[in-house]
Chain A
Amino acid sequence: MQILKNRHLAGWLQAAPLTLILLGFLVLPIATIVIVSFWQATEFSIIPAFSFENYEFLFGSAVTGRVFLATFRYAFITWVFTLAIGFTVAYYLAFHIRSQSVQIALFLLCTIPFWTSNIIRMISWIPFLGRNGIANQTLISWGVVDQPVEWLLYSDFSVILAFVHLYTLFMVVPIFNTMMRIDRSLIEAAYDNGASGWQTLVHVILPLCKPGIMIGTIFVVTLVMGDFITVRFMSGSQRANVGRLISNDISLLQYPSAAATAVVLLCTVLITIAILLRFVDIRKEL
C-alpha cells in the first residue's frame, strides 16, 4: 500500500489511461500512415520499401497543387458563410430571445435536422437543384429565367451550399456558448458610455466571442478539408478536393499513395490550425 502513496507514482498512474489511449488510437495509427506513405504498391500487394516515390509523384503533379488550392477555397468560402450565418443565429438566440425556455427550444430546433444522416441531408438537395428540379421549375414559372439554370447542381455552388448547410451548426453552438457567458453588465456599460449598437457589437461582443468563433472555425475548416463524400455527390464527381484524391487512391488499392496524400493533408491542416491559434489563445479565454 505504501507504494501507492508515492506521489510521483500516483501521478503517473492517473495519467496512464489517457496516455495509453492516445498512444494506441492516435499516435500509432498516424505513425502507421506515415510509414506506409513511404512504401510502394502494385495492384496486388504492398511492398515495404523506403522510397520517396509517392511524395515525388504528389509534388510533381500539377493536379495536386490545384486540388489543394480547391480544398482551401472550399474551406474558406464555407467558413465565411457558416461564420456569417452562425454568428447571426447565435446573436439572435443569445441577445434577442429573453425567455430562457424559448431560447432552449429554438436552440434545439436548430439541432433537429442533425438528427438525420449527413448523407441524406446532402442528397436531398439533388432533386431540388436539378435541371428539372423544384428550384428550376419555380424560377421558370416565375419567369425569372427561360432556360433551366445549370450551375445549381453539380457545381462548386452546390458543393458549398451543402457544406454550409451541413456545418453551420458547428459554428452556432460554440459562438452561442461564448455569447451566453458574456457578462451583460459589460454591454450595459458600453451603452452607458454612449456606444451605438454597432459599436457594441464590434468592440465588445465580437472580441468576447473570439474563442467561440475560433472553435467553430476549427470545426468547420477541418471538416471541410477532410471531406470527400459531399464533394463527390454534390459535384457529380466533377470536382475534387484532397479527400477525394485519397478516397480514389484507396478504392484503387493504392494505399501508400493515399497515405502520402493523407500525411500532406494532415500537415496542411495542422499548420492551418496553428496559424488560427496564433490569433486567439483558446486556453486562456476559456
Chain B
Amino acid sequence: MAKVGYTRRSVLRTGAAAAAASLAAPMVWSQESKNIVLRQFGTGVSNLNEVATKVKEDLGITLEMTALDSDAVTQRAATQPDSFDIADIEYWICKKVWPTGNLQAMDVSKIANYDKIVGIFKDGKLTPESEIAQGTAPHTVGFVEGQGSTKFADEQTNWMTLIPTIYNADTLGIRPDLIGRPISNWSELLNPEFKGKASLLDISSIGIMDMAMVCESMGEIQYGDKGNMTREEIDKTIAIFTEAKKNGQFRAFWKTFDESVNLMASGEVVIQSMWSPAITAVKSRGIPCVYQPLEEGYRSWGGGIGLSKSLTGMELDAAYDYINWYLSGWVGGFLMRQGYYSAVPETSKEFMTANEWGYWFEGKEATDVITSPFGDELAQAGETRDGGSFYDRMGSVACWNSVMDENQYMVRKWNEFIAS
C-alpha cells in the first residue's frame, strides 16, 4: 500500500525541479488511493470548496472541509486530535496547540517547493534587510527540533510545524464615503468623531493587537512587545478601550467574517478592524470600502497546514501530496486573486494573468477589470490595490498575530471588557 505513495513521491521530487506546473497535471492513480479521504478543518479563509473540487480533480483525494472560527479551531485542534487529518490553522494557534502534541512535524525534504517559500516563514525576513516584526512571527513557531518534539526550534530545521499556505497584512477598513476625509492612523478607531460607528473584532488574541496598535498610535502606551504584553500593559490597554466602550464609541463587536461585512455594508459602522476579503465582499455590493494603509503599519497573520498526529501510511503520503499540490501554484493563484498572499508567490504567477499579477502582487494599476475567482468585479482598469505591492504591504508589518505568555490573564481581562 505504501508503495503507491512512495512512487508518487519520487515522481514529485524529481519532477519538482523541472516544472511546478507538471505537479498540477493529473497523475496515474491506483483505484485504492482514489478512495483516500482527508478531513481538513480551519478558518473560513482558506477552507474553500473550490480547493476541494480541484484537488479531487488533480490528485483524486477527497477533501472534507469544515470551516470554524479561530477560537473553535484552536479548541478542536487542542482537544479532538482524532477528529481531523489536516489542520488549517494560524501560526499563533500553532503556538497554543503544538505543545499538546496533537500535530506531527513535517519532513521538509518531502516538500518540493520548500526553497521557494517566502523568507518570512523561514528566517523571518522578507528581504535580507527586513526587520522582524513583534508578535508571534511565523518562523518562531515554524520549526521543531525533530519529530515528536514539542519545543520550537530557533532556526530552520528539517521539521516544519506548519506548511505556510496563506497570509496577509491586516489594517482598519473604512467607509470613505461616510467619513469623507483621509484616515492615516490607527488612533482614529477611538476618535470621538466616529462615536457609535466604530467596531472591533471580538476574538481576544487578535482584538488585543488591534487595541495595542491603537493605543500606541494615540501615544498612550509604549509597548515592549505588542505580541507579548505585560500585565500592566494589558490593564492599561483594556482600560482605555473600556472607557471608550462606556462612552458609546462602539456600535458592535464582531466575531465572524459575515458580521463584519454586514456591519460595514449596512452603514452601522464606518471604521473597524477588518479582514481583507471582507472589504472585497463589501465592495462587490457596490459600496465603497477601503482597506486603509496606516502609518504605524499592519497587523499581520499567517496560516498553514498541519498534520494530525494520527495520520499514518497512505493517508500521510496523500497529505504530503496534497501539501505539494497546495504549494504548486493553483491554490496560490486562487487565493491571491482574492487579495491574500501565497507562501510561494512565484508558482502562483503562472495561474494568474499579467494584469492580475500586476494588480495584486506588484501593486500596479490594473490594465483591465479585476475579477475575483467567483466572478465578482473587484476593481476597474486604472485602480491600484490599497496599500500597494507585496513588498510595500508585507514590508511594513508592525506586529504578527500572537499568543502571549500572559494569555490567560489577558483572556480574563478581555472577558471583563466584553462584559463591562
The answer to whether B252 touches A44 (Cβ under 8 A) is no
The answer to whether B267 touches A245 (Cβ under 8 A) is no
The answer to whether B408 touches A240 (Cβ under 8 A) is no
Q: Does B204 contact A (CB under 8 A)?
A: yes
On chain A, the residues within 8 Å of B267 by CB distance are: 131-132
Q: Which residue on chain A has the smallest CB distance to residue B95?
A: A43
Interface bracket on B: 35 or more
Residue from B99, B407, B415 in contact with A249 in the complex, judged by beta carbons closer than 8 Å: B415
Q: Does B420 contact A (CB under 8 A)?
A: yes
The answer to whether A130 touches B418 (Cβ under 8 A) is no
With A251-B75, A253-B74, A253-B78 known as contacts, the answer to whether A236 contacts B99 (CB < 8 A) is no
On chain A, the residues within 8 Å of B75 by CB distance are: 250-251, 253
Residue from B74, B268, B408, B419 in contact with A153 in the complex, judged by beta carbons closer than 8 Å: B268
Assembly CA distance A249 to B418 (angstroms)? 12
On chain A, the residues within 8 Å of B220 by CB distance are: none
Q: Which residue on chain A has the smallest CB distance to residue B416?
A: A63
Closest chain B CB from A196 CB (angstroms): 49
On chain A, the residues within 8 Å of B254 by CB distance are: 236-237
Q: Does A15 contact B (CB under 8 A)?
A: no
The answer to whether A236 touches B253 (Cβ under 8 A) is yes
Q: Does A113 contact B (CB under 8 A)?
A: no
On chain A, the residues within 8 Å of B78 by CB distance are: 43-44, 253
On chain A, the residues within 8 Å of B202 by CB distance are: 237
The answer to whether A67 touches B419 (Cβ under 8 A) is yes
The answer to whether A236 touches B251 (Cβ under 8 A) is yes
Spell out A's residues near B (CB within 8 Å). Answer: 41-45, 57, 61, 63, 66-67, 126-127, 130-133, 150, 153-154, 232, 235-238, 240, 244-245, 248-254, 257
Docked complex: B127-177 residues within 8 A CB-CB of A: none
Residue from B100, B268, B411 in contact with A44 in the complex, judged by beta carbons closer than 8 Å: B100
20 A-B pairs within 8 Å (CB atoms) are namely A44-B96, A44-B97, A44-B100, A61-B412, A63-B415, A63-B416, A66-B419, A66-B420, A131-B266, A132-B266, A132-B267, A150-B196, A236-B251, A237-B254, A237-B418, A238-B250, A240-B418, A240-B420, A251-B72, A254-B411
Closest chain A CB from B35 CB (angstroms): 35
Q: Does B71 contact A (CB under 8 A)?
A: yes
On chain A, the residues within 8 Å of B99 by CB distance are: 44
Interface-centre pick from A43, A44, A57, A126 (highest chain B CB count, 10 A): A43
The A-B contact count (CB < 8 A) is 84
The answer to whether B96 touches A248 (Cβ under 8 A) is no
Q: Which residue on chain B has the smallest CB distance to residue A252?
A: B411
The answer to whether B419 touches A245 (Cβ under 8 A) is yes
The answer to whether B245 touches A238 (Cβ under 8 A) is yes
With A43-B408, A238-B245, A253-B74 known as contacts, the answer to whether A154 contacts B96 (CB < 8 A) is no
On chain A, the residues within 8 Å of B252 by CB distance are: 154, 235-238
On chain A, the residues within 8 Å of B96 by CB distance are: 43-44
Q: Is the interface of A mostly helix, strand, loop or mixed?
A: loop
Assembly CA distance A63 to B238 (angstroms)? 14
With A43-B96, A43-B403 known as contacts, the answer to whether A252 contacts B204 (CB < 8 A) is yes
Residue from A131, A150, A244 in contact with B419 in the complex, judged by beta carbons closer than 8 Å: A244
Assembly CA distance A84 to B242 (angstroms)? 37
Q: Does B13 contact A (CB under 8 A)?
A: no
Contact with A along B86-102 (1 / 0, CB 8 A): 00000000001101100
Q: Does B56 contact A (CB under 8 A)?
A: no
Q: Does B255 contact A (CB under 8 A)?
A: yes
Interface-centre pick from B97, B407, B408 (highest chain A CB count, 10 A): B408
The answer to whether B418 touches A254 (Cβ under 8 A) is no
Docked complex: B250-275 residues within 8 A CB-CB of A: 250-255, 262-263, 266-268
The answer to whether A240 touches B419 (Cβ under 8 A) is yes
Closest chain A CB from B261 CB (angstroms): 13
Assembly CA distance A67 to B250 (angstroms)? 19
Assembly CA distance A245 to B245 (angstroms)? 18
Top-5 shortest CB links A-B: A236-B252, A240-B419, A237-B253, A251-B71, A63-B416
Closest chain B CB from A163 CB (angstroms): 18
Docked complex: B378-420 residues within 8 A CB-CB of A: 403, 407-408, 411-412, 414-416, 418-420
On chain A, the residues within 8 Å of B262 by CB distance are: 126
On chain A, the residues within 8 Å of B100 by CB distance are: 44-45
On chain B, the residues within 8 Å of A154 by CB distance are: 251-252, 268
Contact with A along B203-246 (1 / 0, CB 8 A): 01000000000000000000000000000000000000000010
On chain B, the residues within 8 Å of A45 by CB distance are: 100
Assembly CA distance A45 to B101 (angstroms)? 11
Q: Which residue on chain B has the smallest CB distance to residue A131?
A: B268
Assembly CA distance A61 to B262 (angstroms)? 34
On chain A, the residues within 8 Å of B403 by CB distance are: 43
Assembly CA distance A219 to B171 (angstroms)? 45
Assembly CA distance A158 to B419 (angstroms)? 17
Assembly CA distance A250 to B74 (angstroms)? 11
Closest chain A CB from B9 CB (angstroms): 33
Assembly CA distance A206 to B407 (angstroms)? 54
The answer to whether A42 touches B196 (Cβ under 8 A) is no
Assembly CA distance A150 to B74 (angstroms)? 36
Assembly CA distance A253 to B415 (angstroms)? 13
Starting from the known contacts A43-B78, A44-B99, A63-B420, 17 additional A-B residue pairs (CB-CB under 8 Å) come to A42-B408, A44-B96, A57-B412, A63-B416, A131-B266, A131-B267, A131-B268, A133-B266, A236-B250, A236-B263, A237-B255, A237-B418, A238-B253, A240-B419, A245-B415, A254-B411, A257-B412
Assembly CA distance A151 to B144 (angstroms)? 52
Docked complex: B84-129 residues within 8 A CB-CB of A: 96-97, 99-100
With A150-B196, A153-B268 known as contacts, the answer to whether A63 contacts B250 (CB < 8 A) is no
On chain B, the residues within 8 Å of A232 by CB distance are: 255
The answer to whether A63 touches B251 (Cβ under 8 A) is no
Closest chain B CB from A258 CB (angstroms): 10
Assembly CA distance A248 to B255 (angstroms)? 11
On chain B, the residues within 8 Å of A248 by CB distance are: 414-415, 418
Assembly CA distance A248 to B199 (angstroms)? 18
